[in-house]
Structure 1
Amino acid sequence: MATPMEEDLPGAEAEAAGPAPPPAAATGGDGDGENPAPAPASPFSDSDSDSDDGGEGGDAADELRIQALEQALQEQPLDYESHVQYIQCLRKSGKIEKLRAAREEMNKYFPLTPKMWQEWTKDEASLRPESFEDIEKLYECGVQEYLSVRLWRDYLDFVEENDKSVSQCSPSGLTKMRNLFERAITAGGLHVTDGSKLWEAYREYEMAILTIIDDDDEEKAKQVQRIRVLFHRQLSVPLVDMESILAEYKSWEAEQGNANDPTSNFDGVPSNVVAAYKKATEMYNVRKQYEDQLSNADASDGDKLEEFLKYIKFEESSGDPARVQVLYERAVAELPVSTDLWMGYTSYLDKTLKVPAVLKSVYQRATRNCTWISELWVRYLLSLERIRASEEELRHVFEQALQCSFPSIKEYLEIYLTRVDSLRRRMADGLDFQLIRQTFMDATEFLSPQMGTEDLLLLHAYWAKLERTLGNDLAAARGVWENTLKKSGSVLEVWQHYIAMEIETEHIHEARSLYKRCYTKRFSGSGSEEICHAWIRFERECGTLEDYDLAVKKVNPRLKELMMFKAQQEVKVDTHVVPKETTGSDFSQKRKSSKIPTKQQPPAKKKKDNPPNSAVLSDDHGSKEQISTGHVKTGEVSGEKTQASMEVNLVDGSRRENTASKESKSNFYSDKCTAYMSNIDLTANEEHIRRFFSDIGGVTAIRLLRDKFTKKSRGIAYVDFSDNEHLEAAIRKNKHKLLAKKVSVARSDPSKGKKNREAGSFSKDQATSGDRGETAEFANRPDKEIPKDKPTITGKNTFAAPRSVVKPLGWTQKDEKSDVGAEELKSNEEFRNLLLKKCVDLHVAIKL
């Protein structure tokens, strides 16, 4: 939407868009000597149809332009620029009826600029000079939109020339004109640069009245005193060119027969006026620096805003509310869509001035200029409530606010809550509670499709509370919560608030029924455990022994079920997680496909003594392998039942992993300049990691490893950097905290893994249980030096040893087939499977 303020344009805001500037006669002059009208002829024809007949070649193009703009405004009535262009086209073509309607339509949505009001009033005055009251209303609307000394001067001149009571100098006419001048002085008389024009017009009017007074000496003396008082008042206000005003005053006094010395500044001037004049001069000198900055025509809107804010802050420190208000009016007239100015202006009036009529006017203009600021609408509603506005006016403003376009749904929620707050506070004035109920219903219907659970819960909790306290209708309050459960029954907080309401109203049986309804539900996080423990605590504090026993009987199996499910989920995640001590170079082998061709191993022979139960588990390459299974003792929990459920989950998970891992085989990362991170908090995401390295920069990519099924973080990530300098800086952040956990940061070096793989020192799956090369290291040591926790290969226990490691004494290629009595040797693939199975079984046993 275009900025609704272009006061400096010479009568044709949309000249660049197509329409030419209107004729000089259309403006009739601007009251300050600019654009003088050479003739009083009207630029408009007598009818709309006449303007289209016999016109020049441009008339057809103008008509097409007008039709296009009409269509655009029907589709987008809030398009400010289209309104401006439409008015200019109609003004050029002379379609006066359409032009009047277009101006009225635009003013419904937007405030018009002072220049647009000048054009409108002068057009109407030239076409309908007899419609004085209608034109006077237009001037009244115009001077209330923005502060404009020019528009005030036009208004004063129009009334003086066209109001018969004023032109005939009747008592009522004199009173009306003087009141209008006083309003003008109040509005713009403190304007440092332009205020003198209003004072001057006021004095000239009173001097003209003096000249027509005949021989009534008493009346003449009163009129002379009025003029003298005006001079004294003006000399006490800091305005531009104070010296010339003082000189004019002395000259006027001389005309009245009061002799003074022209060479002396203050000769013949009363001492109190001299003191006021000197004070005003000092005030002007202090403000001159701010006025000089604002008078810079080349300054941008941002620079002007900054200067205005500085100026306003200075005036606020001086403690004169009238001067602050005039300065704010000047600022919003030049920068009408500045949120900072309107927010500051309304806040200042709320704290300092507190005049109902002024507050209402300023808030109305603020919300018309900045419709998208919800806080202004909230303040507007509160301000109307403070000045005890009628319910009809409050409702009208509330409905206007809902028709605006706010950036987020929460701002609409704030508008609704402000409205409910106001209705609640005024219930003592006889308002019907049905207004509150209807407002909540409208809010739910309007906001529910887009509002988050937290905000929806806030709204419904407030609604249920008011239904119970103000409406005295507990059934209605329960209905609010039941409707909420239909939409958000999986949210723990909804149940908690509902139960809390029943407990607060001492409806213990109803609260117990709610616990029975929700304790078996699955809530996010630890919510399911929380509601179970809450039920036990509730029965301990409020129920009988039978109620407590029943709750324990129902809750304990549920808690065991939740514990078992949690353990199963941890096993699924842990089977894919590398231990913390694994280095980056080791893990890099798990996320790239090896380019080294592997020799296909012969299938292992089936042994007669193999257990019947086996689980299919996929390794990190996605190959399915058979792993012999057994039962693990689990302490208090039944081992057989737990192990059986584990096996089922492992089988199902491995099948899904097999498919997913095959799709990721093609990923290959060189890790030339990459950091390996481990021990990352499971709630951290890529953005957390990026902020963790924000102080050193250079991050080009982040790969956070996630579980293939749950899509949750595995606590491991690879971070690519642009160069080694940034990588070294990243490594120095090792053991720094990320979300309250110290992360490990090391250089990722896949070349080490490649060399180890080529040397056959350790298989890829063995790397997950220890450092590379451990087995070869301990195999060469004496038995006494081998730690107790390291397995050794001795005697005939060779069934789990790869052929490349263990060979029977006297083994030759010829003896390979004849070795029937010895235990069959396992392939490397089988050895890997068995070792991984042992690790998984050991981990399950520890967890349980």
Structure 2
Amino acid sequence: MDETLAPAPKPTEIPAYSTAVAASEEKEENAKNADETMHDVEDDSNASSSGSDDDSDGSDSEDEAQQNLQLQTLQSQLSANPYDYDAHVQYIKLLRRMGDIEKLRKAREAMSDLFPLSPSMWQEWTKDEASLNTGSDAFSAIVKLYERGVFDYLSVSLWCDYLNFVQEFDPTIRERSAAGISKARDLFERALTAAGLHISEGSKIWEAYREYEQTILLTIDETDIQAKEKQVERVRSLFHRQLSIPHSNMSSTLAAYKAWEVEQRNIDAESYDIAATYPHVSSAYQKALEMYNARVHHEEQISSQDISESERLTCYMNYLKFEQSSGTPPRVQVLYERAVTDLPISPALWLDYTRYLDKTLKVGTVVSNVYSRATKNCSWVGQLWSRYLLSLERGHASEKDIAAVFEKSMQCTFSTLDEYLDLFLTRVDGLRRRMASSREEDKLDYKIIRETFQRAADYLSLHLKNTDAFLRLHAYWALLERTLGKDISAARGVWESFLKICGSMLEAWKNYIALEIELGNLNEARSIYKRCYTKRFPGTGSEDICNSWLRFEREFGTLEDFDHAFQKVTPRLEELQLFRVQQESKSTEEKEVHPKRNAHDKRKMGSDITDEQSPAKRRRDALRNPKKAPEESKVQVEKFSQETKVEQVDEKVKESDNITEQSTLEKNREFSDQCTAFISNLPFTATEQHIRKFFSDIGGVVAVRVLHDKYTGKSRGLAYVDFSDDDHLAAAVAMNKRNLLGKRLSIARSNPNRGRKESSAYGPDRSGQALKESDEASQGTVKEAKSAPTRKLGGDNFQLKGKNTFAAPRNVRALGWSANKPKTEEGDETPKSNEEFRKMFVKKD
């Protein structure tokens, strides 16, 4: 597998980003207070006496050494994990305190490449740059910073800073030239489009815009009556526009407008009636006031400081539903922007936002820009990346841009393999549509599709082996090789490569045969039947493929072909029928011997490992129970009797492996699990350090044991965590359903007595307990977390073989079990007579 396809390791990306973003504003405020306190202390120290200069120099040296040590520590952290959000924030603060401008710029750029910066961080950055230099080159650079800042999140305060900056430092705007005035008005209109409908803070931009226009009015010469009247009408229009929009300062805005009109008209304020002069303005104002009153309670809920993030998200969702039912798309979009600014790492919010834009706008740079920000905030959500690719395709983006987004998505870590598969298929879908397009600029080389399929197969083969999803991928691949690639040999190669990995899947053989029949290659289809009719498939698959071959020869073959197929298939069907009879007989005997065993008991005794016996097992059963088999089985019993000797050697080896495994598992009984939490649905990439950090808030962790597969060494998604006392254990169990690395954990108290008592099919080991506890603890999360590919264990006539059976329960014999028959007691060596047996059961008088 190509190593470049593997997701970039980001062990702390999601939790670090989630917690740090939520606390960043508070930390920034605390840092500012600390800086102010430090400056006050320094001023007091300088004013106290000049005799403390030596002490001050020593203290400065110590502070500098401590800062350098802290700087090196943060650099090491970021080098080891570039996605540590909190480390980025602390690193920037330290560099800003030390005054290292060049390193500070590089640190900010590095963080901005990985994460969107908060509005306060953008304000700090722009103010720092503005204080250093205000030349023409510096002005353009600062304007670009403001543009990047207002793109990341909706912030009225950042927009106001931006507007004030250009009015102060842009020469054309400051001098109020025609070009400068036009430039300023365009920027104000952009700000109104972005935040003018912000109910609680949008009025700040309206007021800034009116002040700018009124300043221009004051500069117009009194003799230029036409220009003055035109400017008055412009200011009046701004008042009218603002009064028609619901916002928190509507009454003060109306009072300001009335005072302005009185001043312009030079009339008595008490006698002036706006409704009489501008009835449409009064009507619009009343309507806007009603709209504001209908939204007041929603505004109070989302602005409350006493609610959790989940409650705030619920309040936003309710507000959005109300706005969608009664508002306009621009108003809804502004509310979405406010929500993602307050809750930037909520996948549900970004998914809902992008879904709304896809439905209402469908195309345009607005939608693609929102997707760009969504994937930057929630990079671990594969669905956002897939929909991002579709959005770019709807907007007729270039192949270069789409390929860049796809490659970027491949470097992210997702919680389920289905998300990776969906990304690959979305990419292939787009390439296929582009190749099928009639536009000349959309023409592509088919090898891009082939390379994408190959990457997907290499990447997913180890994880999706023998799954329907992996089969659909190859079926799609073979179809495109035949239709778009026009290469039949390549289509055959797709199926051949798949069968080498997943040869036990009946549907794969059927699809391969259907391909050859559709192409009219009957001889090739016949050869495939000859290869697979003797294979063992789940359920009735073995009979199905035999009957399918006979149907094929009836429909397409000659009489000789049909006779040949019949001669090949008939013995195989008889063998399968014999096996069915034996299985039914065995099942009947088990029901008679154990009539009270329910389905749950059968499952615990390992009945779901397999229903179909191996050939050696069938032969031994036939030898031991010749009366139970039909007459035709006698020939097979004689035929297989010689081969059984060879098979017995394999059985002894397997028994030896079981005893060895039992010895290893027995050692684990030293763990009493009296104060232990059992964790299931654990991300496969999670380590002991991740689990310890997850429980760091409650503390008390004594030991962590992550269960690994004995053959592959990979994590099984299960773990035990020992705690120092029951209070810490109870706190750990209370953390059930919380996320770790993007997956929702299932946490329950471990019960070793239950696991050992009820896991007779697993033996006295921790594996049986883990499987049972995982089955109980993860019932609520199976539907949510699909990170591991599901695979049916057992099933009808399907036996798992090889090393990839670590997830299947096993019948492990206890230590001391011997393959030899138990020796009889000395007193039992002589058989008892009928008279002795009668005396044992008949009561004596």
Whether the 8 Å contact between 2:92 and 2:107 is mirrored in structure 1 is: yes
SS in 1 for 2:514: helix
Whether the 8 Å contact between 1:235 and 1:273 is mirrored in structure 2 is: yes
Specify the alignment match of 1:211 in structure 2: 218
Task: Give the Cα–Cα distance (whole angstroms) in 1 for the partners of residues 129 and 651 of structure 2.
Answer: 84
Task: Give the Cα–Cα distance (whole angstroms) in 2 for the partners of residues 424 and 210 of structure 1.
Answer: 59
The letter of the residue matching 1:459 is L
The letter of the residue matching 2:122 is W
Match of 1:273 among 267, 270, 281: 281
> Does residue 13 of structure 1 match 2:13?
no
Rg larger in 1 or in 2?
1
> Structure 1's 9 and 198: CA in aligned 2 closer, same or farther, altered over 3 A?
farther
Specify the alignment match of 2:463 in structure 1: 450
Specify the alignment match of 2:126 in structure 1: 121
Trace 1:458-497 onto structure 2 (pairs within 5 A).
Answer: 458-497=472-511
Deviates more, 1:373-382 or 1:478-487: 478-487
Trace 1:57-206 onto structure 2 (pairs within 5 A).
Answer: 57-130=62-135, 131-206=138-213
Specify the alignment match of 1:681 in structure 2: none
Once the two structures are superposed, residues 785-832 of structure 1 have per-residue CA deviations (whole angstroms, 9 ceiling, x without a partner) of xxxxxxxxxxxxxx9964433489xxxxxxxxxxxxxxxxxxxxxxxx
> Does residue 2 of structure 1 match 2:17?
yes
In the superposition, the TM-score normalised over structure 2's length comes to 0.68
Once the two structures are superposed, residues 78-133 of structure 1 have per-residue CA deviations (whole angstroms, 9 ceiling, x without a partner) of 11111111101101111110000000010001000000000000000001221100
> Structure 1's 526 and 255: CA in aligned 2 closer, same or farther, altered over 3 A?
same
Whether the 8 Å contact between 2:96 and 2:104 is mirrored in structure 1 is: yes
Q: How many pairs were matched up?
A: 631
> Does residue 362 of structure 1 match 2:373?
no
**In the TM superposition, what is the alpha-carbon distance from 1:172 to its structure 2 partner?**
0.6
Task: Give the Cα–Cα distance (whole angstroms) in 2 for the partners of residues 654 and 207 of structure 1.
Answer: 96
Flag structure 1 segments of 5+ consecutive residues without an equivalent. 27-34, 39-51, 592-616, 618-627, 668-698, 718-738, 740-798, 809-848
Specify the alignment match of 1:439 in structure 2: 452
Deviates more, 1:403-412 or 1:295-304: 295-304
The letter of the residue matching 2:387 is R
Whether the 8 Å contact between 2:167 and 2:173 is mirrored in structure 1 is: yes
Task: Give the Cα–Cα distance (whole angstroms) in 1 for the partners of residues 585 and 655 of structure 2.
Answer: 17
Task: Give the Cα–Cα distance (whole angstroms) in 2 for the partners of residues 280 and 418 of structure 1.
Answer: 44
SS in 1 for 2:295: helix
Whether the 8 Å contact between 1:114 and 1:146 is mirrored in structure 2 is: yes
**In the TM superposition, what is the alpha-carbon distance from 1:449 to its structure 2 partner?**
2.3
Specify the alignment match of 1:805 in structure 2: 837
Trace 1:787-798 onto structure 2 (pairs within 5 A).
Answer: none
Specify the alignment match of 2:390 in structure 1: 382
> Structure 1's 66 and 14: CA in aligned 2 closer, same or farther, altered over 3 A?
farther
Task: Give the Cα–Cα distance (whole angstroms) in 1 for the partners of residues 578 and 230 of structure 2.
Answer: 101
> Structure 1's 152 and 366: CA in aligned 2 closer, same or farther, altered over 3 A?
same
Once the two structures are superposed, residues 408-434 of structure 1 have per-residue CA deviations (whole angstroms, 9 ceiling, x without a partner) of 122111000000000101112312111
**In the TM superposition, what is the alpha-carbon distance from 1:631 to its structure 2 partner?**
6.2
The letter of the residue matching 1:160 is Q
The letter of the residue matching 1:478 is R
> Does residue 549 of structure 1 match 2:563?
yes
Whether the 8 Å contact between 2:385 and 2:409 is mirrored in structure 1 is: yes
Whether the 8 Å contact between 2:126 and 2:145 is mirrored in structure 1 is: yes
Task: Give the Cα–Cα distance (whole angstroms) in 2 for the partners of residues 157 and 90 of structure 1.
Answer: 27
Task: Give the Cα–Cα distance (whole angstroms) in 2 for the partners of residues 222 and 241 of structure 1.
Answer: 27
**In the TM superposition, what is the alpha-carbon distance from 1:653 to its structure 2 partner?**
12
SS in 1 for 2:415: coil
Specify the alignment match of 2:823 in structure 1: none
Match of 2:320 among 312, 319, 330: 312
Task: Give the Cα–Cα distance (whole angstroms) in 1 for the partners of residues 265 and 454 of structure 2.
Answer: 78
Task: Give the Cα–Cα distance (whole angstroms) in 2 for the partners of residues 642 and 365 of structure 1.
Answer: 70
> Structure 1's 11 and 268: CA in aligned 2 closer, same or farther, altered over 3 A?
farther
Specify the alignment match of 1:525 in structure 2: 539
**In the TM superposition, what is the alpha-carbon distance from 1:354 to its structure 2 partner?**
3.2
Task: Give the Cα–Cα distance (whole angstroms) in 1 for the partners of residues 220 and 522 of structure 2.
Answer: 91
> Structure 1's 416 and 180: CA in aligned 2 closer, same or farther, altered over 3 A?
same
Whether the 8 Å contact between 2:122 and 2:146 is mirrored in structure 1 is: yes
Q: Relative CO higher for 1 or 2, CA cutoff 8 Å, sep ≥ 6?
A: 2
Task: Give the Cα–Cα distance (whole angstroms) in 2 for the partners of residues 631 and 554 of structure 1.
Answer: 26
> Does residue 327 of structure 1 match 2:335?
yes
Whether the 8 Å contact between 2:259 and 2:269 is mirrored in structure 1 is: no
The letter of the residue matching 2:476 is Y
Specify the alignment match of 1:302 in structure 2: 310
Match of 2:404 among 383, 391, 396: 396
**In the TM superposition, what is the alpha-carbon distance from 1:629 to its structure 2 partner?**
8.2
Structure ranking higher in helix proportion? 2
> Structure 1's 487 and 287: CA in aligned 2 closer, same or farther, altered over 3 A?
same
> Does residue 286 of structure 1 match 2:294?
yes
The letter of the residue matching 2:388 is Y
Task: Give the Cα–Cα distance (whole angstroms) in 2 for the partners of residues 249 and 14 of structure 1.
Answer: 37
**In the TM superposition, what is the alpha-carbon distance from 1:258 to its structure 2 partner?**
4.9
Task: Give the Cα–Cα distance (whole angstroms) in 1 for the partners of residues 128 and 38 of structure 2.
Answer: 9
Trace 1:246-261 onto structure 2 (pairs within 5 A).
Answer: 246-259=254-267, 261=269
> Structure 1's 530 and 707: CA in aligned 2 closer, same or farther, altered over 3 A?
farther
Specify the alignment match of 2:443 in structure 1: 430
Whether the 8 Å contact between 1:22 and 1:91 is mirrored in structure 2 is: no
The letter of the residue matching 1:330 is R
Task: Give the Cα–Cα distance (whole angstroms) in 2 for the partners of residues 633 and 246 of structure 1.
Answer: 99
Task: Give the Cα–Cα distance (whole angstroms) in 2 for the partners of residues 460 and 486 of structure 1.
Answer: 13
Specify the alignment match of 2:518 in structure 1: 504
Match of 1:561 among 575, 579, 585: 575
Specify the alignment match of 1:41 in structure 2: none
Whether the 8 Å contact between 2:167 and 2:174 is mirrored in structure 1 is: yes
Deviates more, 1:649-658 or 1:543-552: 649-658
Q: Cα RMSD (Å) of the superposition?
A: 4.2
SS in 2 for 1:147: coil
SS in 2 for 1:239: coil
> Structure 1's 392 and 644: CA in aligned 2 closer, same or farther, altered over 3 A?
closer
**In the TM superposition, what is the alpha-carbon distance from 1:58 to its structure 2 partner?**
1.2
**In the TM superposition, what is the alpha-carbon distance from 1:577 to its structure 2 partner?**
6.6
The letter of the residue matching 1:176 is K
**In the TM superposition, what is the alpha-carbon distance from 1:451 to its structure 2 partner?**
2.2
Task: Give the Cα–Cα distance (whole angstroms) in 2 for the partners of residues 633 and 97 of structure 1.
Answer: 88
> Structure 1's 469 and 155: CA in aligned 2 closer, same or farther, altered over 3 A?
same
Trace 1:571-586 onto structure 2 (pairs within 5 A).
Answer: 579-581=593-595
> Structure 1's 501 and 261: CA in aligned 2 closer, same or farther, altered over 3 A?
same
SS in 2 for 1:2: helix
Flag structure 2 segments of 5+ consecutive residues without an equivalent. 1-15, 44-56, 606-616, 618-622, 667-752, 773-793, 795-830, 841-845
**In the TM superposition, what is the alpha-carbon distance from 1:523 to its structure 2 partner?**
2.7
Task: Give the Cα–Cα distance (whole angstroms) in 2 for the partners of residues 630 and 126 of structure 1.
Answer: 95
Match of 1:226 among 226, 229, 234: 234
Once the two structures are superposed, residues 713-756 of structure 1 have per-residue CA deviations (whole angstroms, 9 ceiling, x without a partner) of 9xxx9xxxxxxxxxxxxxxxxxxxxx9xxxxxxxxxxxxxxxxx
SS in 1 for 2:265: coil
**In the TM superposition, what is the alpha-carbon distance from 1:529 to its structure 2 partner?**
2.0
